[in-house]
Structures are given as C-alpha cells and as structure tokens.
Amino acid sequence: MVFSYREFYSLHKKGGDYLNCPELRASIARAGVSNRKLSESLGISEQAFYNKIQGATEFKGSEIKKLANILCLSMMDVNNIFFDATVN
C-alpha cells in the first residue's frame, strides 16, 4: 500500500514512544521478511534496526513509510503499531 504524503505525515514524524513491539514483530513474521533484509531496505545497520523494533530508539517517518510498504501495512496497521497510545 502506498500512502500519500498528506496521509502519512498527518500522523506524526516519528514513532517509538507508542511502538507496539509485539505487533510489529508479528507483522514482520507474517510478511516473511528477515530483519537483515528490512535493515538493508531502511539503510541502517542490523543493530540499529534491532534497537528500533525493541523500542529503544525511534523510527523516523521515512522508515515507517518504507516498512509500511514492504510489510503491506494498512493505515490502521501503521497506527496500531507505531502510534499505539495504550502501549505506554
């Protein structure tokens, strides 16, 4: 799924404070994509990607957009994973 600039950036520029780590890991598993492949696609190291999926560091808006496209996430999925206010 491709998001328009307005749709995507109307949410937030960063995700992390409200990251739903278990749901992100489940989405990655469903897509059958390795963490190595995802980190390469995002242009970051595997360690940096691991830190992000653990919630230790934040995903940039551009990284969320790329992940959404690679993992075929709907707008609702993106909201539930990256902006879940019930997590913290």
* Structural domains of the chain ordered from first start: 5-82 (1.10.260.40)
Spans of the chain below 70 pLDDT: 1-17, 86-88
Helix (H) or strand (E) holding 47: helix 46-53
pLDDT of residue 56: 86
Q: Which residues contact 54 (CB under 8 A, 6 or more apart)?
A: 21
Q: What is the pLDDT of residue 4?
A: 54
* Predicted TM-score of the model (pTM): 0.76
- CA-CA distance, 51 to 49, in Å (whole number)? 5
pLDDT tens column, 33-58: 999 999 999 999 999 999 999 888 99
| Kind plus residue range of the DSSP H or E element containing 15 | strand 14-15
d(CA 67, CA 9): 15
Q: What percent of the chain has pLDDT over 90?
A: 61
